[in-house]
Structure formats: structure tokens, C-alpha cells
Amino acid sequence: MEIGVFMPAWKIHNKWAEKLGISKEVSNYVNTLVDFPEKHKEFMKFFTETSNWFSEWKKINPKFPLTEDYMREIISTKDEFHNRMLRELLQIKHDAGRRKNPLGGSRYQGLAAFVQLKFLFLSLKGSDYIKAWYLHHFIDFTVSR
């Protein structure tokens, strides 16, 4: 997020979610996932399973030199330094679904969005969670322009 860019409060997200028939509970669940994914326990558990994201990561970054086994080993060490580096590399942070590729280039880094939506879909949370995810990004994007 750029300095000086205004992001709306969750109250605004919840207001518009309610207008679409999405409960405050669902909206706040998704707000946490989008704004603080590293603090979202269910998502971080999902993230630690490399099979949930590694093949997509390799499509986006085909020259990435590390293997899935090596990435799995880094995650399993529970070493905070390496896990923080991994989260940074994979853009698992605030509003990650709209961030650019950390390895350069003009392609948007779609991995965070892919993993978050896959998490919501495979968790069988339901369509309201998916709608709330898109709504959250839409509101943030429109307000920040």
C-alpha cells in the first residue's frame, strides 16, 4: 500500500456486504483474509501445504530455481526467518490479491489471489465468501483511485 492512500474501514466493507445479503460474520472473515492473511490461522494452515499453490507459482515464475520439496522443507522447519521470507516472496500480506509480481515484470502476481480463492472454495465456505472477497477488492480499488 502506498503512503497516503486511503483504504476504507471494515465498517464500509460490511455495509456494502450487507446490501448484497452477506452477513457481517462472513464479511469480517474475508476482511481478515484479505487485509491480514498472515494472521488468518485457517488460511496459513492451508498455505503451509505447498500442493495448494506451488504448481501455480511455477506457471507464474517458471525460472524460479527452488523445487516444491525444498519449499515444503522450508515451511516445515517452522523457522520464522525463512517463513517470513517465503510469505514476502509469495506476497502473503495485506491486499496481496492486487500486488505486482515480486520478481519483476508487469504481470500481476496472481498467486495470492489464486491461493485465497482456492482456500475459500476448497473450505466449502460458500458463494458469499467468494462474493465478499471480490467486493473487498472492488471497494479498496475504487476508494484508492
pTM, entire model: 0.75
What secondary structure letter does DSSP report for 92?
-
**pLDDT tens digits, residue range 80-137?**
787 777 777 766 766 666 655 544 544 445 677 788 888 999 888 889 999 999 999 8
Q: What is the pLDDT of residue 30?
A: 94
**pLDDT tens digits, residue range 24-81?**
999 999 999 988 888 888 988 888 888 888 888 788 778 878 888 988 888 887 777 8
**Which grid coordinates belong to 102?**
515480486
**Which grid coordinates belong to 100?**
505486482
Partners of 100 in the beta sheet?
A: 108
Structural domain boundaries in the chain: 10-144
Cα separation, 114 vs 41, in Å, equals 18
Asked whether 97 and 34 are in contact (CB, 8 A), the reply is: yes
